A and B are shown apart, each in its own frame.
Chain A
């Protein structure tokens, strides 16, 4: 079956620090990969996506590259802000409409 494993949190950083959240996956076929973010008091929202190997998704200064050889989709941001404090979920979809999610990583950025 499909599964997603992501870095356990919580992660606490200072403003302007570099953020990496690791995500690896197992899937049948050729999945599309996603990062969703949940800000405090809000629903999950799509942050970025990649639909095929070597694609790079990017949004709001975040990036993730679809690495088929390592089955990974690590999320990175070069300089985080307090407003990036949220829970980040790695997810995939393969051949149907069901998203498979990782457990989520809580990120707290301190001023």
Chain B
């Protein structure tokens, strides 16, 4: 499967722990986007990255959240000191060039904070 791969699919953390979500874009894609879906809401843009660069992180909470897309390896979305409100589905998407709306999405990572 050469699609966007996310792992883990499900992650359970206790309050105060760290969560790391990984995303491998589609082969040949160098643009990665993270979206978050809270219960009963649509997906919300979090961050846009290209290899080794954060292009736009305007949708990321100012504290505890960070993202990277290193030269080698997957993109990582990191949430420190998780709280219950972080429970959500986190979707990664990729594109071959800056997106005009057509994105390829992974299956999502569902984070549950106890």
* Chain A residues packing against B (C-beta within 8 Å): 4, 32, 34, 36, 38, 41-46, 49, 89, 91-93, 97-104
* Cβ-closest 8 pairs across A and B: A101-B42, A43-B105, A93-B101, A44-B105, A97-B99, A101-B43, A98-B45, A43-B107
Interface size class of B (residues with CB under 8 A): 20 to 34
- B3, B6, B33, B42 pick with most chain A CB within 10 angstroms: B42
The binding surface of chain A is classed by DSSP as strand
Among residues 47 to 95 in chain B, which have CB atoms less than 8 Å away from a CB atom of chain A? Answer: 48, 56, 59, 91, 93
Contact A100 B91 (CB under 8 A): no
Give CA–CA (A49, B56) in the complex, Å. 24
Kindly provide the distance from the CB of A88 to the nearest chain B CB, expressed in whole angstroms: 12
The binding surface of chain B is classed by DSSP as loop
Excluding A43-B4, A103-B40, 13 further A-B contacts by CB distance (< 8 Å) are: A34-B102, A36-B105, A43-B6, A43-B106, A44-B43, A45-B104, A89-B43, A93-B99, A97-B33, A99-B101, A100-B42, A100-B45, A104-B42
Kindly provide the distance from the CB of A43 to the nearest chain B CB, expressed in whole angstroms: 4
In the assembled complex, which residues on chain B have CB atoms less than 8 Å from the CB atom of A89? 42-43
Within 8 Å by CB of B107, from A34, A42, A102, lies A42
Assuming the contacts A100-B42, A102-B42, asked whether A44 and B91 have C-beta atoms less than 8 A apart, the reply is yes
| A99 closest partner in B (C-beta) | B101
Among residues 30 to 47 in chain B, which have CB atoms less than 8 Å away from a CB atom of chain A? Answer: 33, 35, 40-45
Contact B91 A43 (CB under 8 A): yes
Give CA–CA (A36, B108) in the complex, Å. 14
